[in-house]
Amino acid sequence: MVIRRQIADTEDDVMSGRGRAASEQDRRAEELHGRAIVIDAACPLVNPRQIAAYVPALQRGGVTCAFSTVASIEPARYAVGALSAWYARAREFAGAISLASSAGEIEAAKREGRIAIVLHFQGGAPLEYDPSLVEAFHRLGVRVIQLTYNERNPLGDGCTERGDAGVSKLGLAVIGEMNRLGMVLDLTHAGYRTSMEALEASTTPVIFSHSNARALRDSPRNLPDDLLRALTRRGGVVGACAFPAFLTTGPATVEHLLDHIDYMSRLIGPEHIGLGMDFAAETAEDYEYFRYDPSVYPAPPWVYPMGIEGFGDFPNITRGLAARGYADRDVLGILGGNFLRVFREVCG
Flag whether 212 is in a domain: yes
- Contact between 242 and 311 under an 8 Å Cβ cutoff? The reply is no
| pLDDT at residue number 19 | 63
Nearest residue to 323 (alpha-carbon basis) of 269, 258, 277, 265: 258
**Distances in whole angstroms, Cα of residue 199 to Cα of each of 196, 202, 272:** 5, 5, 15
Flag whether 118 is in a domain: yes
Flag whether 1 is in a domain: no
- The alpha carbon torsion through 139, 140, 145, 147 (nearest 10 deg) reads -90
Q: What is the pLDDT of residues 71-101, one digit of tens each?
A: 999 999 999 999 999 999 999 999 999 999 9
Is the pLDDT score of 4 beyond 60?
Answer: no
Q: What domain count does the chain have?
A: 1
DSSP-based three-state secondary structure for 120: strand
CATH classification at residue 48: 3.20.20.140
Is the pLDDT score of 1 beyond 70?
Answer: no
Flag whether 5 is in a domain: no
Per-residue pLDDT band at 13 (split at 50, 70, 90): low
- Domain of 173 in residue numbering reads as 39-347
| pLDDT at residue number 21 | 63
DSSP-based three-state secondary structure for 275: strand
Mean pLDDT within 7-25: 61
CB neighbours of 293 closer than 8 A, spacing ≥ 6?
Answer: 150, 160
* Phi/psi at 219 (5° precision): -140, 140
Q: What is the pLDDT of residues 290-333, one digit of tens each?
A: 999 999 999 999 999 999 999 999 999 999 999 999 999 999 99
Mean pLDDT within 187-211: 98
Flag whether 32 is in a domain: no
In whole angstroms, give the CA distance from residue 97 to residue 15: 44
- Among 16-20, 65-69, 122-126, 329-333, the minimum mean pLDDT is found in 16-20
Flag whether 25 is in a domain: no
Flag whether 234 is in a domain: yes
Flag whether 31 is in a domain: no
Is the pLDDT score of 16 beyond 70?
Answer: no
Mean pLDDT within 216-229: 98
Q: What is the pLDDT of residues 38-69, one digit of tens each?
A: 999 999 999 999 999 999 999 999 999 999 99
pTM: 0.94
Is the pLDDT score of 258 beyond 70?
Answer: yes
